[in-house]
Amino acid sequence: MVSATAAMSFHAAIRLSGMSRPSTERANSIATLLAEQSLRVIAPGDAEYDTARRLFYGGLDRHPAAIVRPANAADVGRIIRFARGRGLELAVRSGGHSAAGHSTTEGGIVLDLSAMKRLDIDVEHRIAWAETGLTAAELTTALGAHGLAIGFGDTGSVGIGGITLGGGVGYLGRKFGLTIDSLLAADIVTADGQLLRADATSHPDLFWAIRGGGGNFGVATRFRYRLHEMPQIVGGMLLLPATIETIVGFIAAAEAAPEELSAIANVMIAPPMPFVPAEFHGKLGILALMCYAGDAEAGKREMAPFRALATPIVDMVKPMSYAEMYPPEDESYHPVGPVRTMFVERIDRDAARTIIERIEEHMRNSKAQLAVAQLRVLGGAIARVPADATAYAHRDSRIMVNVAALYDPSTDDATAHEAWVDACAAALRQGDSGAYVNFLTNEGPARVRAAYPGRTWDRLVAIKRRYDPTNLFRLNQNIPPGS
């Protein structure tokens, strides 16, 4: 049975090839040296080690020599200097949601920021300083108590560090832009262990790069955000039957909607979950996550075109707090499966037919737990920012498409599912060759370049060379400091 988390938001993962484990003696030596610096260290053999090394995604069985949880930026600097001085691979973890497995390492050090959760909110000036161990749900809930919000993604357990550095596409994107469009400053510990404040006037090149360039340039320990008034939204899940007409109509309605409305359409087989009537289990549907950033009456009015596409199978859309868009998650859920991400210019009848036929075929002919095409209409405030203003350069991209297939690795392997996502993505690809870096997996250097087209790449390489010339921060969608 597919988890509720899989149905309510988009998750996919890939297996990573195994590496040799570190020797116990070597791992203990590394952990001991770190502990001698009064750092909180979790080493192989510790009772909490297996839990601490586990990530959100399944199929990622790595064994770090040490997992270190800094208490502050000074600790982060010490860990960075330790890893650099001993030539150890360094993985940086905020929430542990890297589908490519970049949040962990085999035999190196995991710098786990999860203990750094300080939050200072200036309600009067609508500004917050937030440490990067916070998750999207934790920060959203705290801000919601003051009627304020920042737009993150669609999953509450994602760490704010990773989603912010990659751009941040989510429920409030059309209204307020990407997460980085609300970022005013960041505290960054660079490869030499130095703590820098990056903003529009101090280290502006670094500030430009971290807004979309990922973790290539240092460890972000704290963000300063501009907050937005958000006393309530109209949101929740809407499940419609999936036909060519409803898919095309849904995207058309999302494009025509005011910027206050963002929608995520997951085209997939309806799961056997309690909120889905039994007669619709196993049938193709549009599981849509709707968010109208405004009052109840206006929200009800703007949801009408979607409800008019077909009689809803499930309609959970209602007035709520923004934090309710992040329901509790099943901590035992660790999905496995390949994913491909792209931008397209349109979802017409041909594209809708391709989505339907390929999902139904794969679910019929494979052991997939879930095959899904996720469609996100962009535009609005995202598109009003110049393409060269931040390292996220896809401001004119119209629609994001993510294709994934989840499977059980205990009874199946990745081969058929990898082939399916590749073929489905190829069939849907149009003129936009870009990619959103936060949804990339291990797809090779060409796909990283696709995330940073043209002059954006050249500029990022120059900044990488300045702040991380030895490529210490390479466990990411990497921008090498070389030419």
- Residues, the chain: 483
The tens digit of pLDDT for each residue in 50-80 reads 999 999 999 889 999 999 999 999 999 999 9
* Helix segments in 24-72, DSSP class H: 24-35, 49-53
Task: Using alpha carbons only, give the angle 315, 175, 439 rounded to the nearest 5 degrees.
Answer: 80
pLDDT at 483: 55
Given a contact cutoff of 8 angstroms between Cβ atoms, the answer to whether 222 and 130 are in contact is: yes
CA atoms of 433 and 448, how far apart (whole Å): 11
CA atoms of 40 and 371, how far apart (whole Å): 41
Q: Candidates 1.10.1740.10, 3.90.1150.10, 3.40.462.20, 3.40.640.10; correct CATH number of 233-439?
A: 3.40.462.20
pLDDT at 35: 79
Place of tokens 């039957």: 241
Residue numbers in the chain where pLDDT is lower than 70: 1-25, 28, 483
Q: Residue 336: which of 404, 255, 425, 261 has the closest Cα?
A: 404
The tens digit of pLDDT for each residue in 390-410 reads 999 999 999 999 999 999 999
CA atoms of 124 and 130, how far apart (whole Å): 16
Q: Residue 168: which of 95, 257, 70, 72 has the closest Cα?
A: 95
Q: Indicate the helix (H) or strand (E) that contains 301.
A: helix 296-307
Specify the pairing of strand 119-122 against strand 109-112: unpaired
Beta carbons within 10 angstroms of residue 210's beta carbon: 28
Where in the sequence of the chain do the CATH 3.30.43.10 domains occur?
A: 17-58+60-115
Where in the sequence of the chain do the CATH 3.30.465.10 domains occur?
A: 119-229+457-467
Given a contact cutoff of 8 angstroms between Cβ atoms, the answer to whether 213 and 165 are in contact is: yes
pLDDT at 34: 81
Question: Which DSSP state fits 126?
Answer: T
Rounded to 5 degrees, what are φ and ψ at 266?
-100, 110
Contacts of 326 (CB under 8 A, 6+ apart): 136, 137, 140, 141, 155, 156
Where in the sequence of the chain do the CATH 3.40.462.20 domains occur?
A: 233-439
Enter the pTM of the model.
Answer: 0.93
Q: Residue 355: which of 420, 292, 409, 419 has the closest Cα?
A: 420
Q: Candidates 3.30.420.250, 2.30.30.140, 3.30.465.10, 3.40.47.10; correct CATH number of 119-229+457-467?
A: 3.30.465.10
Q: Tell me if the domain spanning 17-58+60-115 has CATH number 3.40.228.10.
A: no
Specify the pairing of strand 90-93 against strand 109-112: parallel
Structure token digits, residue 455: 């002059």
